[in-house]
Amino acid sequence: MAPAALEREDKERDAAFKQALHGKTAEGRAGFTAMLGKDHKAQKEAVDEYFKHWDNKPHTTETEETREARRAEYATLTRHYYNLATDLYEYGWSQSFHFCRFSKGEPFRQAIARHEHYLALKMGIQEGQRVLDVGCGVGGPAREIVKFTGCNTVGLNNNDYQIERATKYAKQEKLDHKLSFVKGDFMQMSFPDNSFDAVYAIEATVHAPSLEGIYTEIFRVLKPGGVFGVYEWLMKDAYNNDDPHHREIRLGIEEGDGISNMEKIEVALAAIKAAGFELELNEDMADRPDEYPWYWPLSGELKYMQSIWDFPTLVRMTHIGRGIAHRFVGCLETIGLAPRGTQKTADSLAKAADCLVAGGREKLFTPMYLMVARKPKA
């Protein structure tokens, strides 16, 4: 079959799966209530498809073959991850699926928006420019950056459910004349060469099987002189893959966050140069001496509570809060209100949260390695 026909077939299959699993939840309710409206059979399929990559594959026995098997299936792995996690993300975080820096007294949403503004500022995104958001989630950052800069943005995503939600939110905010969404695989984008003035990716390209591969594809769609900005998820220099504790942290993050192959900082720097970019800026924003670390909302440590409004966020992540949530979701599953696999998904996210916090605290991992790079003019 010709590649275009194969692609069409894949798109139809994914759209049909989205319809079966999410039904009308994509158009209506968000977060926790949306979770209860899933088709149980389709949810089981998504859970089985996702967790087959990790079940019975502990960090102690990880081999290059297990990693390669995940890399080979990065697209379905990521798609199923977001089929399972999107509602939990919207319920427990916001419509911007990324971390950020926090300053004292700064409300959560303001800190999240500031992180987005910072990237747009460092990239120098201008009014009227054509911009691509790679791995746009449900469009929270794209909406903010369109409002902040006045640019025109296309969001690229390989998950139909997220695209449907992103489209709905853009319409609700009356931004649909400047912001649209396209379904596609970021490793082989459907855009012609030299299409965009700027491309950004916020905590999304970590889902790629190869950083050099994704950066090369971004380079292709950028116009000469165009700019690429990214907040990358990376293991830091202190990470030692031969240390079982370090590996357990990396694997916990990968399993709970839909990642097939997370790399070290040095690999990302080499990849961006190998793709042809001129690197203008690189900094691990997690290394700034912030009083409130990026991972505080996941830490469950009450010392980070700044106002009474932080209490629910923090208490949910304490041992007691986790235990209650685990049993509550288990009960919902037993009585048939929540589909099978909801508890397994929630537990895996909770484990990822522990590993993210440990990775942050032990300075082994960063979710905000900032790189700004340019495609040369000639």
Ligand X SMILES: CC(C)=CCC[C@@H](C)[C@H]1CC[C@H]2C3=C(CC[C@]12C)[C@@]1(C)CC[C@H](O)C[C@@H]1CC3
CB of 140 to ligand X, least distance (A): 10
Let me know: does 149 contact 117? Beta carbons within 8 Å.
no
What are the b/e assignments for 314-332, b being 16+ CB within 10 Å? bebbeeebbeebeeebeeb
- Residue 98 binds ligand X, judged by CB under 6 A: yes
Q: How far apart are CA 78 and CA 181, in angstroms?
A: 18
Kindly state the DSSP code that residue 264 receives in the 8-state scheme: B
CB of 257 to ligand X, least distance (A): 4
For the chain, the residue count is 378
- Please identify, among the stretches 97-105, 126-134, 163-171, 239-247, the one whose residues bind ligand X according to the rule CB under 6 A: 97-105
- Residue 203 binds ligand X, judged by CB under 6 A: yes
Query: CA nearest 135: which of 222, 232, 227, 47?
Result: 232
- Please identify, among the stretches 5-13, 70-78, 89-97, 187-195, the one whose residues bind ligand X according to the rule CB under 6 A: 89-97
Q: Rounded to an integer, what is the distance from CA 11 to the centroid of its chain?
A: 21
Q: Choose which of 17, 50, 74, 93 interacts with ligand X (CB under 6 A).
A: 93
- Residue 92 binds ligand X, judged by CB under 6 A: yes
Size of the site for ligand X (CB under 6 A): 18
Q: Which of residues 292-311 bind ligand X (CB under 6 A)?
A: 298
CB of 5 to ligand X, least distance (A): 32
Q: Which of residues 238-277 bind ligand X (CB under 6 A)?
A: 257-258
Phi and psi at residue 147, to the nearest 5°: -65, -35
- Please identify, among the stretches 57-65, 175-183, 241-249, 345-353, the one whose residues bind ligand X according to the rule CB under 6 A: 345-353
DSSP H or E run through 13: helix 3-22
CB of 94 to ligand X, least distance (A): 8
Angle (CA) 328-334-338 rounded to 5° is 70
- Residue 354 binds ligand X, judged by CB under 6 A: no
Interface residues with ligand X (CB under 6 A) are 88-89, 92-93, 97-99, 203, 206, 233, 257-258, 298, 346, 349-350, 352-353
